[in-house]
Amino acid sequence: MKGSVWLELAFSYEIGSGETLQRYERVKNSSSSSRGGGEEEEKEEKRKKKEEEEEEEEEEGEEGEEGGERRRRRRRRRRRRRGRRRRRRRKKEKEKKKKEKKEKVKRRRRKEEEEEEEEEEEEEEERRRKEEEEKKKKKKKKKKKKKKKKKKKKRKRKRKKKKEEEEEEEEEKKKKKKKKKKKRRRRRRRRRRRRRRRRRRKEEEEKQNLRKLLNAVFENYKKHSLEDGEL
């Protein structure tokens, strides 16, 4: 639309130098190039402003030659063009703002997500740390329990050994005592036997002596009796 207006202007007023057509080409080339950046837009705005100023100067020069209707048409076109540019600019600004807002929202969301991820990582780290600590505690407790059990077992074994030794000692003592008793008994028995034997021997000897004595007395009596003639 913009190009057609410029062409119409160029050919309707038949400017011999061809400045209007060159300007149109320049604007066309510049506008078709990259419009994305902010610097390009500023340059374009400046160019448009300059062109409008030049156009107004041309209008002032041509005012004596042209009719009122044509001027009005041109002004209307210019106003429409300006309106279109303004609307386009506003639309672009709106789109830019919308884009910026979207980007801002995106950035905020990304930041929130990153923060959430960091928080989750921290929580995970904390959980892992707690688990590790719990594991270590359990391991320590288990080790302690094992050590205690081992110690208890050792003590039990020691006590058992001591008890066995004491029992053995007691048994040994009993055996010794028994042996001693047996020995004593045997000794006593021997003594008793000896005494009995001695007594018996003595008694026997006494009996024999008495028998001998009796025999001797009887023999003596017999002898004397024979002598006396009593028998």
The residue-averaged pLDDT of 219-228 equals 75
Q: Which domain holds residue 84?
A: 2-58+74-108
Could you tell me if residue 157 is inside a domain? no
Q: Residue 22 corresponds to which amino acid?
A: Q
Confidence of residue 14 (pLDDT cuts 50, 70, 90): very low
Q: Does 186 fall in a domain?
A: no
Establish how many alpha carbons lie within 13 A of residue 56's alpha carbon, considering only the half-sphere containing its beta carbon.
7
Q: Is residue 175 part of a domain?
A: no
The pTM (predicted TM-score) of the whole model is 0.33
Q: Cα Rg for the chain, rounded, in angstroms?
A: 74
Domain tally, the chain: 1
Is residue 63 domain-resident? no
* Segment 87-107, tens digit of pLDDT: 888 888 888 888 898 998 999
Place of tokens 């913009």: 2
Residue 30 maps to a domain? yes
Predicted confidence (pLDDT) at residue 133 exceeds the cutoff of 70: yes
- Residue keyed to tokens 């279109």: 84
Helix and strand numbers (H, E) in the chain are 4, 0
189 domain residue, yes or no: no
Residue 84 is assigned to a structural domain of this protein = yes
CA atoms within 13 A on the CB side of 142: 6
Asked whether residue 23 is domain-assigned, the answer is yes
Going by pLDDT thresholds of 50, 70 and 90, the confidence category of residue 13 is very low
